[in-house]
A = this chain, B = another copy of it.
Amino acid sequence: MTIYNFAAGPAVLPKPVLEQVQKELLDYDHSGMSILEISHRSQLFTDLYADTKARLKQLMNLGDDYDVLFLQGGATLQFTMVPLNIATKHHRAAYIDSGHWSVRAIEEAGKVPGVQADIVATSKASGYTEIPQFPDVLKDTYDYLHITTNNTIEGTAYQQLPQTTTPLVADMSSNFLGQQYDFTKFDLIYAGAQKNLAPAGLTIVVLKKQLLTDPNHPKNLPAMLDYTALANKDSALNTPPVFQIYMANLVLQWLETQGGVAGIAQLNQKKAALLYNFLDSSKLFNNPVKPAQRSLMNVPFLTPDKATDAKVIQAATAAGFLNLKGHRSVGGLRASIYNAMPFTGVEKLVNFLMDFEAQHQ
């Protein structure tokens, strides 16, 4: 039976990449050593690191004014590091609240001593079924405006970026490299890698270099929480997660063969449209999100009752469609259809759901 993994992350990875990892696992680049044993001070690694960074910047269309960090700790550690490093002039940060992960980002920012985190727009009232309206009235009072570009749990995503004169910061964890944005509009982007880039254990931070040399940059931050200290050592201030960086490199190479971010985003549109069109035409299933703001990556849906939800999940699991259970905070079902989910996987899922509906009328 072919398995399709619809997990929200860690998630499905491209099959050819997994096969290459398996093939060369005992001997990386004719070194006689596994990539799992390679020193981060070796030429083998520093070459790999430079290549990975260059590929990522090229795929994002970013120039010399941006740097990339390959870190650990996930987006949750970035919730702290962002305000710690860059809420340093006004000591105030503006957050748009579009769901669960925005709330977490705001909570953690509020814990950073001396920083005030303000919610400047929220879609909480609608149950987060849309992206908040945001009329920019921030003026020069905030160090940054923070958005969550894709809301993994609620299934919404920004299709247009907010118009603002305040530096724009994004948690892009769940649609990083899966949806096309003008990445030069951001001052800082962070993303856990375990959706579209690599296995869990790697966090990407893409940021404008000028943030690293800002005169307000605080002295005496803990080294591992200091973007400048980390960038000065090419993310190898201590031992970086070598294997995840290696896998990110392979995934980026694979992404190039898919036509880069633009190419994969087009395919993702097609995959998402297939599923949303079915849900909108279904009498059993329903996606609650405002159509113009639906996520390309995470598609939550519901039946009229929990018992039927559970029945669908059970039958789907038996048929090889795995991890369709919705997040515990919202229930229902959710299909995460990241870059590595093939079109066929979505097609077969839709057929399965169609059959289920027909049989349960």
Contact = CB atoms under 8 A, between A and B. Distances in A.
Interface stretch (A18-26, A175-183, A267-275): A18-26
A22 B80 CA distance: 37
Contacts of A77: 72-73, 222, 224
Contacts of A3: 31-33
Given A10-B38, A194-B239, A242-B201, A73 B73 contact: yes
Oligomer copy total: 2
Interface string A188-211: 000010100001111000000000
A304 to B, nearest CB: 25
A213 interface: no
A342 B39 CA distance: 19
A253 interface: no
A333 interface: no
A75 interface: yes
Contacts of A150: none
Contact of A199 (B10, B200, B242): B242
A220 to B, nearest CB: 5
Interface of A: 1-3, 5, 7-13, 18-19, 21-22, 25-26, 31-34, 36-40, 42, 72-77, 79-80, 108, 111-113, 192, 194, 199-202, 220-225, 237-244, 247, 320, 322-323
